[in-house]
């Protein structure tokens, strides 16, 4: 296998060392600022964030939590979309999860509820009643924050302009339009009908907004990932019919009533509040019982309304977001568009992030026209409603097929499992995971972000990791070839360190139905041995569990890789690396030697696969290490590449302490794993009051004013 040595661009920074420090670490010569953090006010009327949980507002005008995917948009002085007018800029940021919402609730709150029991930091609630204001804050912390940024004295877009009329929150309560192929839209709407809209033409909100995409016409795509955990069936509620039970099973949605004797339950308990005037609807929607006797509770289709790519025009505050059902329903990680070529179709590449799930692409029916730049939601209707949804099958010989998910496929038409069969194409789109099962797509090691190389159109996809129950030596395949135990045993077996695969469409066409692939790089701990550290990573670039992935737009060929890891966090916090990749097929065929030990039983095997050229330190290098407990996710940049934006998600996640007497969270700073960014970490100025950790967007610039990374 060759080693890549030359390229038109080269990395120009010294590698950042692995670190367990509670700070953001970047190479010397770079500066870091916090742009915004969880709870920051986005208008002038909302009070500054206390970081004590004392807020009495419902977070309608605050930055959400768990910052994830994001994109920067330029606007003209008049507020119109522009790819080049750099005087004004708007930042759209996804807010994924309420898993750490104890950080934004007050200590020991006892008003409301039963027995004073509340949410605790482990994501459990006590199966009784939660305070309405807490739940509203959690509902509203999801979605997307859209804020205009103002420039600092160095000329960098680095702070919220609270007076901008473009500032907006899209939350889990925002009304959205339901869209899809015209021939199947009636069937799609039928699956969206709830008490809120009995026509199914609209739905409410967006949830678990993980990674993102952008469109060639200038809108933002937010992707709904782990939506399954948000609905419950209340104690005594009626279970859905057999067909719905099977679709809920396949998506991991609650499908049976909570036990009357449960002392804790999964999910958020968002349907439980009774202590506000509004008990009947914005809370009850999260109870998906099939309780026809009580129409107020008929939200049996609410789970069907999540799991989509949602398009937002970030520059028109009055615009209504749209669920793009044509792109399928699954645990959407992100949506990466192909390089736009006039007169050719556009493709959107999309991972479904769960173990053994699939990689998909949507191909537009309409061919791209640059006249649609700035076309907003109307352009989205044009390109994201009519088209073809495919799922990937990776072959052992390094080729692959895109299999169309269509009811006319005999495998889909004949599918009948656990009482479920497809009635129409609307169900193929809304229950796309089942359709992908039917056609025998390749089960992957958790597909996370995809990104398209602007230099040549090749598609990269992170496969973050997989477990021993899903990936044994006998169930490996060429595209998912590793099965082993975490070499130092601190966490994980199967494929604990993950890998990055890449694809080249035949003919370089977005509409191709076949492709070639190889594995760009395998994650590994530096000293884990040749059979695990196949890519020969060194102290300067070893990593585990790749997740975020994004090609720079300002420097074609520069790739950023982010990690969300458990298997290496005994040695280092999560990180951001820069890479200068080659091309699909520049390496060769290899044989992976697998050995997996589970319950003292060892199985071994070999798997042939294809690997790209090995990357020396000069072509793959660690740039940033985050604070304790954080995941590094989300990337965007200024047009000139001189400012790079990165998200620090959930520093100190799930830490704190529980009061055993009442399950309340105790805000004891000594029990916090992280106090970033309030501690500043020694590198940045302390950001905001208090001691509780907060997710945040940071901006990184070079002190000499040059391009970041070069």
Could you list the residues that contact ligand FEO (CB under 6 A)?
96, 210, 225, 333, 353, 448, 547
Least distance between Ca ion and beta carbon 619 (Å): 24
Q: Which stretch binds Ca ion (CB under 5 A): 231-239, 434-442, 565-573, 576-584?
A: 565-573
Identify what 640 binds: Ca ion, ligand FEO, none; CB under 5 to 8 Å per kind.
Answer: none
Nearer to Ca ion, 132 or 652 (CB): 652
CA–CA separation, 21 and 654 (whole Å): 18
569 binds Ca ion (CB under 5 A): no
Least distance between ligand FEO and beta carbon 163 (Å): 32
311 binds Ca ion (CB under 5 A): no
Asked whether 30 and 13 are in contact (CB, 8 A), the reply is yes
Least distance between ligand FEO and beta carbon 16 (Å): 23
- Mark residues 439-478: x for contact with Ca ion by CB under 5 A, - for none: ---------x---------------x--------------
Q: Which stretch binds Ca ion (CB under 5 A): 104-112, 357-365, 407-415, 563-571?
A: 563-571
Asked whether 102 and 656 are in contact (CB, 8 A), the reply is yes
Tell which phi-psi region holds residue 100, choosing left (phi > 0), alpha (psi between -120 and 50) or beta: alpha
Least distance between ligand FEO and beta carbon 449 (Å): 8
Q: Which residues contact 416 (CB under 8 A, 6 or more apart)?
A: none
**Which residue has the closest beta carbon to Ca ion?**
564
Least distance between ligand FEO and beta carbon 462 (Å): 9
Q: Which residues contact 138 (CB under 8 A, 6 or more apart)?
A: 98, 101, 268, 270
Give me the helices (H) in 185-235, please: 185-192
Which residue in the block uniquely carries the two structure tokens 């041995």?
A: 529
Identify what 372 binds: ligand FEO, Ca ion, none; CB under 5 to 8 Å per kind.
Answer: none
Nearer to Ca ion, 96 or 518 (CB): 96
567 binds Ca ion (CB under 5 A): yes
Asked whether 537 and 543 are in contact (CB, 8 A), the reply is yes
Asked whether 200 and 190 are in contact (CB, 8 A), the reply is yes
- Burial grade of 616 (CB within 10 A; 0-12, 13-18, 19 or more): middle
Identify what 488 binds: Ca ion, ligand FEO, none; CB under 5 to 8 Å per kind.
Answer: Ca ion
Identify what 225 binds: Ca ion, ligand FEO, none; CB under 5 to 8 Å per kind.
Answer: ligand FEO
Least distance between ligand FEO and beta carbon 436 (Å): 17
**Bridge partners of residue 326, in order along the sequence:** none
357 binds Ca ion (CB under 5 A): no
Nearer to ligand FEO, 89 or 646 (CB): 646
Residue choice 547, 565, 653, 664 for contact with Ca ion (CB under 5 A): 547
Identify what 241 binds: ligand FEO, Ca ion, none; CB under 5 to 8 Å per kind.
Answer: none
96 binds Ca ion (CB under 5 A): no
Nearer to ligand FEO, 55 or 353 (CB): 353
Q: 397 in helix, strand or coil?
A: coil
Least distance between Ca ion and beta carbon 532 (Å): 11
Asked whether 18 and 537 are in contact (CB, 8 A), the reply is no
Element (H, E) at 137: helix 132-141
564 binds Ca ion (CB under 5 A): yes
Identify what 432 binds: Ca ion, ligand FEO, none; CB under 5 to 8 Å per kind.
Answer: none
486 binds Ca ion (CB under 5 A): yes
490 binds Ca ion (CB under 5 A): yes
Size of site (CB under 5 A) for Ca ion: 8
Beta-strand runs (E) in 599-675: 601-611, 620-625, 631-637, 643-649, 657-658, 665-666
Least distance between ligand FEO and beta carbon 355 (Å): 11
Nearer to ligand FEO, 58 or 96 (CB): 96
Give the number of other CB atoms < 10 A from CB of residue 411. 12
DSSP label at 569? T
Element (H, E) at 516: strand 514-522
Angle at 170 between CA 314 and CA 66, to 5 degrees: 105
Q: Which stretch binds Ca ion (CB under 5 A): 216-224, 337-345, 488-496, 642-650?
A: 488-496
CA–CA separation, 216 and 379 (whole Å): 10
* C-alpha distance from residue 257 to each of 232, 239, 291, 298 (Å): 7, 6, 11, 14
Least distance between ligand FEO and beta carbon 632 (Å): 12
* C-alpha distance from residue 544 to each of 20, 179, 487, 521 (Å): 15, 38, 12, 11
* Interface with Ca ion (CB under 5 A): 448, 464, 486, 488, 490, 547, 564, 567
């Amino acid at each position: 296998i060759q080693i890549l040595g030359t390229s038109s661009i080269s990395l120009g920074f010294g590698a950042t060392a692995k670190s367990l420090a509670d700070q953001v670490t970047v190479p010397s010569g770079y500066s870091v600022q916090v742009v915004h953090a969880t709870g920051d006010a986005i208008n002038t009327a909302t009070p500054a964030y206390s970081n004590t949980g004392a807020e009495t507002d419902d977070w309608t005008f605050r930055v959400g939590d768990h910052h994830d995917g994001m994109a920067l948009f330029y606007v003209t002085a008049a507020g119109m979309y522009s790819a080049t007018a750099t005087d004004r800029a708007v930042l759209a940021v996804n807010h994924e999860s309420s898993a750490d919402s104890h950080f934004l609730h007050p200590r020991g709150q006892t008003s409301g509820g039963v027995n004073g029991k509340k949410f605790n930091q482990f994501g459990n609630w006590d199966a009784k009643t939660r305070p309405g204001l807490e739940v509203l804050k959690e509902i509203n912390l999801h979605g997307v924050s859209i804020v205009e940024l103002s420039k600092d004295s160095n000329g960098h877009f680095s702070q919220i302009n609270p007076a901008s009329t473009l500032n907006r929150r899209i939350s889990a309560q925002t009304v959205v339009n339901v869209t899809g192929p015209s021939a199947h839209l009636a069937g799609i709407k039928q699956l969206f009908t709830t008490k809120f809209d009995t026509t199914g033409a609209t739905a409410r909100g967006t949830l678990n907004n993980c990674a993102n995409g952008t469109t060639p016409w200038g809108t933002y795509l937010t992707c709904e990932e782990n939506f399954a955990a948000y609905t419950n069936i209340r104690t005594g509620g009626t279970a859905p019919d057999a067909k719905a039970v099977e679709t809920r099973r396949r998506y991991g949605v609650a499908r049976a009533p909570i036990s009357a004797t449960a002392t804790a339950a999964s999910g958020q308990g968002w349907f439980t509040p009774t202590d506000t005037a509004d008990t009947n609807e914005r809370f009850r929607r999260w109870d998906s019982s099939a309780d026809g006797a009580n129409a107020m509770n008929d939200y049996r289709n609410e789970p069907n309304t999540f799991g989509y790519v949602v398009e937002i025009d970030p520059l028109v505050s009055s615009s209504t977001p749209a669920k793009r059902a044509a792109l399928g329903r699954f645990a959407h990680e992100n949506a990466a568009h192909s390089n736009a070529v006039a007169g050719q179709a556009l493709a959107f590449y999309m991972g479904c992030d769960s173990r053994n799930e699939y990689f998909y692409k949507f191909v537009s029916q309409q061919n791209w026209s640059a006249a649609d730049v700035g076309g907003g939601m109307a352009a989205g209707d044009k390109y994201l409603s009519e088209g073809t949804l495919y799922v990937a099958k990776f072959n052992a010989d390094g080729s692959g097929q895109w299999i169309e998910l269509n009811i006319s496929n005999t495998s889909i038409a004949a599918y009948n499992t656990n009482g479920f069969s497809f009635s129409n194409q609307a169900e193929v789109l809304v229950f796309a995971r089942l359709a992908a099962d039917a056609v025998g797509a390749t089960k992957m090691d958790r597909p996370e972000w995809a990104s398209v190389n602007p230099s040549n159109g090749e598609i990269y996809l992170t496969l973050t990791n997989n477990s021993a129950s899903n990936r044994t030596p006998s169930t490996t395949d060429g595209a998912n070839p590793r099965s082993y135990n975490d070499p130092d045993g601190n966490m994980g077996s199967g494929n604990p360190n993950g890998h990055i695969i890449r694809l080249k469409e035949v003919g370089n066409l977005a509409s191709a139905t076949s492709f070639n692939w190889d594995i760009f790089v395998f994650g590994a701990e530096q000293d884990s041995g040749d059979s695990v550290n196949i890519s020969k990573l060194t102290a300067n670039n070893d990593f585990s569990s790749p997740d975020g992935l994004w090609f720079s737009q300002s420097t074609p060929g520069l790739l950023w890789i982010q990690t969300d890891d458990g298997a290496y966090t005994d040695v280092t916090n999560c990180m951001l690396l820069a890479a200068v990749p080659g091309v699909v097929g520049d390496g060769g065929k290899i044989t992976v030697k697998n050995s997996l030990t589970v319950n003292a039983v060892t199985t071994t095997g070999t798997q042939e696969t294809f690997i790209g050229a090995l990357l020396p330190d000069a072509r793959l290098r660690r740039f940033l290490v985050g604070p304790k407990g954080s995941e590094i996710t989300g990337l965007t940049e200024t047009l000139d590449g001189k400012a790079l934006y990165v998200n620090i998600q959930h520093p100190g996640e799930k830490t704190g302490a529980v009061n055993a007497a009442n399950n309340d969270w105790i805000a004891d700073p000594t029990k916090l794993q992280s106090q970033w960014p309030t501690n500043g970490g020694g590198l940045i100025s302390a950001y905001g009051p208090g001691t509780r950790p907060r997710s945040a967007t940071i901006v990184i610039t070079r002190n000499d004013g040059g391009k970041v990374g070069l």
